Structure 1
Amino acid sequence: MKPLQLLVAVFTLSMAVVVSARAEVTGSHYDYTINGAAYQGYVAHNSNLDESRGTVLIIHDWDGLTDYEERRADMLASLGYTAFAIDVYGRDNRPTSMQENQQRSGEMYADRAAFQRRLTAALDAVDDIPGGTDNVVVIGYCFGGAGVLELARTGAETEGFVSFHGGLGLPEGQDYNDVAAPILIQHGSADPVSGMSDVAALLDALQAAGVEHNAQIHGGARHSFTVYGSGDYDLDADRASWQALTAFLEERLD
């Protein structure tokens, strides 16, 4: 290794140690109710900070709130944000099999009004979570990525929306005319669930509605390219999409 490269590597490692030392990530499950029904999310924040940089609301994949979303929440908390991984299905209604994943997510797709109520109620709960702030960006993965667009179409007042390899189809009777904040799409060019024609249709719809938007397409990446351990996991696409997210958060929340 050349001297300059060694110096850069040592400096980078030193900065990482300093940041790690200053970050005291506190994560815990958080119970809330919607119309009297019990839901359980997960909240992570940096308790060493006098003030959070903003709140990131995370919508889970079709298998419900798992350690995947909790890990993402912890990662965001280590950057100084408050992260709230919400529960769409209900505390006592968590899927435990592929069949139940399909059933639970299918119920939400079949009843869009109920889906929207649960998403907006979780957004309203941000006011009460530890470290919660008024400035919120909503993100989601796969089913959660579709949920991001679902919430955006309600006209929810946030600072932005980010969909990772989400379902991009537009439900019958809906449009993007009421979207109140910018949308960022992170998608793989080889995604068999929502292909490039779906991406193009979404971008056309956002453009027609006058919604500020951007999209980053990861060449060759398939569905679930950010999900560790899955057959579709793509390290390069995961890193690039995370960098795009953090840049978006700095622009919209800081």
Structure 2
Amino acid sequence: MKAVLTMTMIAAAGLPAATAAGEAVTYSAEGREFEGYLAKADNPKGAVVLIHDWDGLNEYEKSRADQLAALGYSTFAVDIYGKGVRPTTMEGNKAETAKLYGDRPMMVKLLEASVAEAQKQGLKSAVVIGYCFGGAAALELAAAQPEGVVGYGTFHAGLGQLKDTDFAAAKAPVRLWHGGADASAPLTALAVVGDKLNAAGTPWRATIYGGARHTFTVPGTKDYVEADDKDSWAQFQAFLAEVFK
């Protein structure tokens, strides 16, 4: 099933298969062990740090990392749950995200440690992206503005979780790709985040896909929209080219 999902994603995004598979990378943070996934490009044009959805680092994120490496962007898909922590139920997903949403300073520490590991692996300057929960986490990291991160991107991010986030320090450009009918993060939540980014003077841009619901970029889900997946992926590539020109 995982292999089928990977090939489906590559075909849906209109990309060639990656020429080389990535590898697991074990690292430590805050006294715990984590396991990320590193996909290196042969002749890198830039780098990406990818934050997983609420079910933890799995084949979806690894496939995206492989796709980016095939496009010339070395990618480190991070793990902020812990090695071996991969929830398989809705209750498990909620429990893991609740731990991090309930302790934002710890979330940021784990994200910063993951970025530091990416830099240790040779990804010195990177764009950070995230999907769903990972999108909200990426924006929490943007608010901390760590060294070496030159941009942020989110796909159907959990924007409703950011109403209390202070973006005053967020200076790197932000791009958001969002479903106009996302019940998990309605347009009112996007407006709140946009107002905060405006107040901070953060350069940002959002693309809203009318009628698209949550997980519109994830093949095999009921909310998947191939046209919007392809369009957001193409826009993301343009953003990478702009940042790393």
Alignment map for 1:93-172 (pairs within 5 Å): 93-129=85-121, 132-157=122-147, 158-169=149-160, 171=162
Q: Classify 1:35/1:170 alpha carbon distance in 2 versus 1 (closer, same or farther; 3 Å).
A: closer
What SS class does the counterpart of residue 159 from structure 1 fall into? strand
How far off its partner does 1:141 sit? 0.4
After TM superposition, the score normalised by the length of structure 2 is: 0.89
Q: How many residues align?
A: 231
Task: Say whether the 8 Å CA contact 1:60–1:69 is kept in structure 2.
Answer: yes
Higher-Rg member (1/2): 1
Q: Classify 1:203/1:173 alpha carbon distance in 2 versus 1 (closer, same or farther; 3 Å).
A: closer
Deviations 1:197-250 (A, max 9, x none): 111111111111100000011111001100110111011110110011000000
RMSD: 1.8
How far apart are the structure 1 equivalents of 2:165 and 2:53?
Answer: 22
How far apart are the structure 2 equivalents of 1:172 and 1:243?
Answer: 29
How far off its partner does 1:26 sit? 3.8
**Counterpart check, 1:60 vs 2:52:** yes
Match of 1:211 in 2: 202
How far off its partner does 1:117 sit? 0.7
Deviations 1:64-103 (A, max 9, x none): 0000000000000000110100001000322122211110
Identity, % of aligned pairs?
42
How far off its partner does 1:171 sit? 4.3
Residue number among 12, 28, 36 corresponding to 1:41 in the alignment = 36
What SS class does the counterpart of residue 159 from structure 2 fall into? coil
**Counterpart check, 1:71 vs 2:57:** no
Deviations 1:26-77 (A, max 9, x none): 4111111113311000011123x3xx11110000000000000000000000
Q: Point out where structure 2 has 5 or more consecutive residues left out of the alignment.
A: 1-13
**Counterpart check, 1:85 vs 2:80:** no
Amino acid at match of 2:173: P
Amino acid at match of 1:92: G
Task: Say whether the 8 Å CA contact 1:26–1:46 is kept in structure 2.
Answer: no
How far apart are the structure 1 equivalents of 2:162 and 2:133?
Answer: 14
Q: Point out where structure 1 has 5 or more consecutive residues left out of the alignment.
A: 1-15
